[in-house]
Structure 1
Amino acid sequence: MTSILNRAAIARPAAPVRILHLGLGGFFRAHQAWYTEHAPDSAAWGIAAFTGRSTRIAERLAAQDGLYTLVTRARDGDAFEVIGSVTDVRPGGDHGTWLAYWRRPELAVVTLTVTEAGYTRGPGGGLDLTWPEVAADVAALRADPGAPVGTAAGRLVAGLVARRHTGGGPVAIVSCDNLPGNGEVTARVVEELAEAAGLRAGGHYVTTMVDRITPYPEEEDALVVAGATGRADAAPVVTEPFTEWVLSGDFPAGRPRWEEAGARFVADLTAYEERKLWLLNGGHSLLAYGGSLRGHATVAEAVADPVCRAWLGEWWAEASRHLDFPERELEAYRAALLERFANPRIRHTLAKIAEHGSLKVPVRVLPVLRAERRCGRLPAGAVRVLAAWLLHLRGDGVPVRDATAPSAAGPLPEAVRGLLTWLDPALAADTDLAEAVTREAGELA
């Protein structure tokens, strides 16, 4: 007989809320919530977590007092752990409670996992004021700073204004999304939205590098948990054993002792950020577009294909030349990535990784491509990623889910020129590069 997962059943009191989180997805629950759970002072650091717009996951977790089972899935079996660091869960539309938490003097940290698309940026990297959702938030905040808003930047502006009006002290705003300089990105979109609305935001922003492969949940996950633990859990999370968190920035009102749970605090995390973006995330993009062309559905399937594995090695060799780590460390990191990618019990779908490529490919691939061209090399790995992405945008491989994707229509040479122009006009002017991408796309097709 299965029991219901709640705090009474496990005798686990809820910690007082001092952390506010936006983006109640699986990654947050496998990463930041996990680190808070494992901090030695976790009893003093509860999290109030809000969804983006959906209500389903908030309803499921609320019925379980914020508790859920984390399934750590290794090659040789599963480990099950109840995570209790989430004290309160709310749907994104509960704007009144969102602002109420900002007004609490004990609030110290605000974290975000809203995906790359959630920062509502334009091509230049700043806030895209032409997005209807952004324009609506600007108008709402200009009329009433407490009015309901929908974008991540809008919610942060509303919270910061509400806190300042009640005399609250500074808090740390911590982005945990896969963006270079995510702290600076967050600061920019928040300040630009506040300025457009005629408000003053302010804030202390922390930059982070996050890493833990957390697949999209499957229906059978709940059945696995019930069978193994005897508990009914409507919102379990499956993740891999590996986890990494590197942070840089100030926490003016304090924070949990995350470093004792394995987090690392550094003055400059650029090198860690580049290593992860280029090797892990860039490798994922290569497999998502190239592997799906070869009929694969998951990362594990693709990396088991000798052709895809050779492609991955070629891309990693190019990217590693421009990383500021000793070669021995890079070799160990790449070996660990192969082990992680090849875990057949982590169903990380290529279709999910392929989504929103227009936001991912530029930061994962272009820095390496540009560095290689400056050295006079025509990098086959980077060329292959662009060619495979182009074919994806033309309808090959997994379906396209990308609201800001460039057009890839027309004859192949013209489509390549158009794609390179969209990425960077200087790349389109590179005749050798354009010809190489065209040839590679023809071969892959």
Structure 2
Amino acid sequence: MARGVERFGYDRDAQAVGIVHFGIGAFHRAHQAWYTDRAMDAGDRDWTILGVSLRSGVVAAQMNPQDGLYTVTGRSAQGENSRLVGAVRGVVTAPRASGETVDTLAAPTTRIVSFTITEKGYCRAPDGSLDPNLAGEESVFRFLGDGLRRRRDAGLPGVTLLSCDNLADNGRQLASLMRQYLDRHDRQLIGWFDAECSSPNTMVDRIVPATTEMDRAAIAERIGVEDQAAVVTEPFSQWVIEDRFAGPRPRWEAAGAALVDDVAPYESAKLRLLNGAHSALAYLGLERGHSYVHEAISDPLLRPVIEHLMREEAAPTIAPAPGQDLSRYIDALLQRFANPALQHRLIQIAMDGSQKIPQRWLATLADNQREGRPSPSILRALGAWLRHVRGDNEARWGEVADPRAAELKSLWHKAGADGIAAAVLGSDGLLASAWQPSRQEQLPL
């Protein structure tokens, strides 16, 4: 065994695959797979995971030579600790292993299909409906459709579809998009899907930066074993799940997950406070020349902006659940952001902003508009985002990574500084359908 590494105690080779997970990046390995590993350590059986990468073969190349084993290292200013995780049995790249993916989705032992495919993986049009041009042969919906059809035809029960992405009402959105896909491709399956499958809402919370070669080298030196699939994260972790499953599930609560009737208050707090602040730190921090979250939150010109965004703009729009203390959550977030050991890159958070800011900022802005409350921090962050997608940061931080980057740059050329806010955020703007503004805001551009 590697030096100083906690490890699981179950017989891994005896466990059947019970979960198919799409989007097996660092976050899933530090969160859902970590919870599943601990649930099996507590006595659950037959819940190992087949990871599916929809495009890149990088994770498969990292994990399969290690038989799916990897370490999760929690890192803080007080030190670090590592755990060997055995929940992942292997990784396939869907376009090159379509048959194996569908076979496993249709296997009798598979009861849960989970997702961390980021906002853009849901193939949505700007109004939130399914974009049929995006939901093609290599989309998650095609694999799901084929797998569910096989289950129905074999007389097998349905599965739980468990979205773990940062979408408001993520489970309901996933189910709606799946129905829209089936309506176009297999209408006869819709009734079975509605009767046999479920899609609970979830909220996931753990900061997981992209693992660097420096991280891998440091872990190898400390534990005495090279781990190409190593994940570095913070000690904090939270998972809130709507208790609405189509069949059996792991006892994730044994690892600290919360099963609740209504996820919405926790989801709103995560999206509007943590994610909203993260995105603001990203765009404002990159402009200030910062590379990492802990640098940006320590900037005396930025920290008051972020605190105001959370305490005065976002928190008043959230109706907390009983016992949910938003002020305490904000205090904890500020401490987590300041963790100097985590090295969370702002440019990573800045990716795909057009897919993220509707639920992170625009929903809060709309609520405050209706109540007549100002949102100066969000408006300042929106200005920084618009400058970012114009290309103002490219010389230092590289090309803008956003599926709508070309559209946004084109709007800048057409509208100019005087018209860009209306062109993007106005009642007829590019993102209007995502938030339905009640008035035009003046942005600091």
> Could you tell me the TM-score, scaled by structure 2's length?
0.89
1:383 aligns with 2:379: yes
Q: Which moved more, 1:230-239 or 1:194-203?
A: 194-203
* 1:15 CA drift (Å): 2.0
> Structure 1's 328 and 174: CA in aligned 2 closer, same or farther, altered over 3 A?
closer
Aligned counterpart, 1:257: 251
* 1:253 CA drift (Å): 2.1
State which of 182, 189, 192 in structure 1 corresponds to 2:170.
Answer: 182
State which of 263, 279, 282 in structure 2 corresponds to 1:288.
Answer: 282
Amino acid at match of 1:71: T
Aligned counterpart, 1:95: 98
SS state at 1:110 partner: strand
Using the alignment, how far apart are the partners of 1:45 and 1:423 within structure 2?
40
1:393 aligns with 2:401: no
Alignment RMSD (CA, Å)? 2.3
Using the alignment, how far apart are the partners of 1:170 and 1:207 within structure 2?
17
CA-to-partner distance for each residue in 1:70-107, whole Å, 9 max, x for gaps?
Answer: 11111121101100011232222311111111222121
Using the alignment, how far apart are the partners of 2:265 and 2:279 within structure 1?
20
State which of 410, 424, 439 in structure 2 corresponds to 1:430.
Answer: 439
Aligned counterpart, 1:319: 314
Aligned counterpart, 1:415: 420
> Structure 1's 226 and 390: CA in aligned 2 closer, same or farther, altered over 3 A?
same
CA-to-partner distance for each residue in 1:198-235, whole Å, 9 max, x for gaps?
Answer: 34251311211011111111012221221111112121
Using the alignment, how far apart are the partners of 1:329 and 1:189 within structure 2?
33
> Contact 1:41/1:256 (CA < 8 Å) preserved in 2?
no
Aligned counterpart, 2:209: 215
CA-to-partner distance for each residue in 1:12-57, whole Å, 9 max, x for gaps?
Answer: 5352111111111000000000000111234432111111212222
> Structure 1's 2 and 41: CA in aligned 2 closer, same or farther, altered over 3 A?
closer
1:127 aligns with 2:130: yes
> Contact 2:60/2:90 (CA < 8 Å) preserved in 1?
no
> Contact 1:175/1:183 (CA < 8 Å) preserved in 2?
yes
CA-to-partner distance for each residue in 1:331-363, whole Å, 9 max, x for gaps?
Answer: 210111011111111111111111111111111
* 1:369 CA drift (Å): 0.8
Amino acid at match of 1:186: L
Using the alignment, how far apart are the partners of 1:213 and 1:271 within structure 2?
20
Q: Which segments of 5 or more consecutive residues in structure 2 lack a partner in the other structure?
A: none
SS state at 1:63 partner: helix
> Structure 1's 358 and 401: CA in aligned 2 closer, same or farther, altered over 3 A?
same
> Contact 2:366/2:438 (CA < 8 Å) preserved in 1?
no
> Structure 1's 327 and 376: CA in aligned 2 closer, same or farther, altered over 3 A?
farther
Aligned counterpart, 1:24: 24
SS state at 1:184 partner: helix
Instruction: Please give the residue correspondences for 1:108-119 in structure 2 after superposition, counting only pairs within 5 Å.
Output: 108-119=111-122
Aligned counterpart, 1:146: none
* 1:282 CA drift (Å): 0.4
Using the alignment, how far apart are the partners of 1:246 and 1:408 within structure 2?
40
State which of 110, 135, 144 in structure 2 corresponds to 1:156.
Answer: 144
Amino acid at match of 2:21: H
Using the alignment, how far apart are the partners of 1:370 and 1:327 within structure 2?
26
- Structure 1 runs (4+) greater than 4 angstroms displaced: 425-429
Aligned length: 417
Using the alignment, how far apart are the partners of 1:60 and 1:370 within structure 2?
43
Amino acid at match of 2:421: V
Amino acid at match of 1:367: A
> Structure 1's 260 and 387: CA in aligned 2 closer, same or farther, altered over 3 A?
same
State which of 261, 268, 284 in structure 1 corresponds to 2:262.
Answer: 268
Using the alignment, how far apart are the partners of 2:380 and 2:106 within structure 1?
50
> Contact 1:14/1:85 (CA < 8 Å) preserved in 2?
no
CA-to-partner distance for each residue in 1:124-158, whole Å, 9 max, x for gaps?
Answer: 11110133xx2xx3xxxxxxxxxxx3111222112
Using the alignment, how far apart are the partners of 1:12 and 1:268 within structure 2?
34
Using the alignment, how far apart are the partners of 1:429 and 1:408 within structure 2?
23
Using the alignment, how far apart are the partners of 2:379 and 2:436 within structure 1?
12
Q: Structure 1 vs Structure 2: percent identity of aligned residues? A: 38
Q: Which moved more, 1:235-244 or 1:246-255?
A: 246-255
Using the alignment, how far apart are the partners of 2:34 and 2:2 within structure 1?
24
CA-to-partner distance for each residue in 1:220-265, whole Å, 9 max, x for gaps?
Answer: 2221221111112121111111111011142232011001111111
Q: Which moved more, 1:281-290 or 1:14-23?
A: 14-23
Using the alignment, how far apart are the partners of 1:185 and 1:223 within structure 2?
40
> Structure 1's 210 and 77: CA in aligned 2 closer, same or farther, altered over 3 A?
same
Q: Which moved more, 1:268-277 or 1:221-230?
A: 221-230
Using the alignment, how far apart are the partners of 1:259 and 1:238 within structure 2?
23
Amino acid at match of 2:376: A
Using the alignment, how far apart are the partners of 1:204 and 1:418 within structure 2?
39
SS state at 1:204 partner: coil
> Contact 1:154/1:190 (CA < 8 Å) preserved in 2?
no
Using the alignment, how far apart are the partners of 1:427 and 1:179 within structure 2?
17
> Contact 2:110/2:159 (CA < 8 Å) preserved in 1?
yes
* 1:2 CA drift (Å): 8.3
* 1:411 CA drift (Å): 2.5
Aligned counterpart, 1:344: 340
Aligned counterpart, 2:161: 173
> Structure 1's 310 and 150: CA in aligned 2 closer, same or farther, altered over 3 A?
same
SS state at 2:132 partner: coil
Aligned counterpart, 1:142: none
Aligned counterpart, 1:143: none
> Contact 1:14/1:87 (CA < 8 Å) preserved in 2?
no
Using the alignment, how far apart are the partners of 2:323 and 2:365 within structure 1?
20
> Contact 1:173/1:205 (CA < 8 Å) preserved in 2?
yes
